Amino acid sequence: MKGEKVDQRVKLTQVLLKNALVQLIKEQHISKISVRALCDAAGINRSTFYNHYADPYDLLMKIKQEIIGDIGRYINSQSINAKLPLSAQLLTRILEYFQDNVELFRSLLGENSDSSFQKDIMELAQVISEHVNPGFDPRTLNYIKTFGVTGSISVIQCWLQEGMADSPARMAELLIQLLYGGQNGLRNMS
């Protein structure tokens, strides 16, 4: 897919830094994490950090974009039928992806991260939300998408933080119901 060959050293440096940041964010807010502490934790020279990133926020952004890319590629690998309209099957798969990387997402969606993740996912969700009834004007359509995406993310966030007590399949069903039928749509749920 991408022709650029990446130097192994660069790759290692970036992986170490990313892992270190994910770890540190578990313990303290991103705003309190200094470049110094981050590099110490990663075992990377501070000069090297600046060769790749501007500051810890920049690194965090890159990490998130990478994940968005992964999920996006996965979604695109699915058949059109599975994408439109948003099926419980596809949603279940995505939730399983979250489940398989709990630690990562708990860190990235937790208290100590920042809020930009939702905005990124919003763009991603455009792909799978184009089936929304096109009878509305663009502004209203945007409200609907915003409502659904942001609400869903925060439910997933909640689900992750509290130990994933429900199965991905059940969560997917719940989300679909909420998205299309709202609270009233839930009255006839399992």
Partner DNA sequence: ATTATAATGGACAGTGTGTTGGATTACAAC
Partner DNA sequence: GTTGTAATCCAACACACTGTCCATTATAAT
80 to each of 57, 101, 144, 153, 175, how far by Cα in Å? Answer: 35, 26, 22, 23, 20
Residue 9 contact, options its own copies, DNA, none, Cβ 5-8 Å cut-off depending on partner type: DNA
Nearer to its own copies, 72 or 85 (CB): 85
Does residue 114 belong to the site contacting its own copies (CB under 8 A)?
yes
**Contact 150/81 with Cβ under 8 angstroms?**
no
Least Å from the CB of residue 41 to DNA: 12
Q: Which is nearer to DNA, 55 or 96 (CB)?
A: 55
Binding status of residue 55 toward DNA by CB under 7 A: yes
Closest by Cα among 178, 18, 186, 17 to 104: 18
Q: Which does 174 bind (CB under 5 to 8 A by kind): its own copies, DNA, none?
A: its own copies
Instruction: Give me the least distance between CB of 139 and its own copies, in Å please.
Output: 6
Per CB under 8 A, 112 contacts its own copies = no
Site string for DNA, 57-86 (x = CB under 7 A): ------------------------------
**Burial bucket for residue 24 (CB in 10 Å: 0-12, 13-18, 19+):** buried
Sign of CA dihedral 37, 59, 112, 172: negative
Q: Is 124 in the site for its own copies (CB under 8 A)?
A: no
Q: Are 51 and 64 spatial neighbours (Cβ–Cβ below 8 Å)? A: no
* Contact string 36-75 vs its own copies (x = CB under 8 A): ---------------------x------------------
CA 146 distance to own-chain centroid: 15
How far apart CA 67 and CA 70 sit, in angstroms, is 5
For residues 177 and 184, give the distance between their C-alpha atoms in angstroms, rounded to a whole number. 9
The C-alpha atoms of residue 29 and residue 114 are separated, in whole angstroms, by 9
Q: Which residues are at the interface with DNA (CB under 7 A)?
A: 5, 7-10, 12-13, 34-37, 43-48, 50-52, 54-55
Q: Which residues are at the interface with its own copies (CB under 8 A)?
A: 29-31, 57, 114-115, 118, 132-133, 135-136, 139-140, 142-144, 146-148, 150-155, 158-159, 162, 165-166, 174-175, 177-187
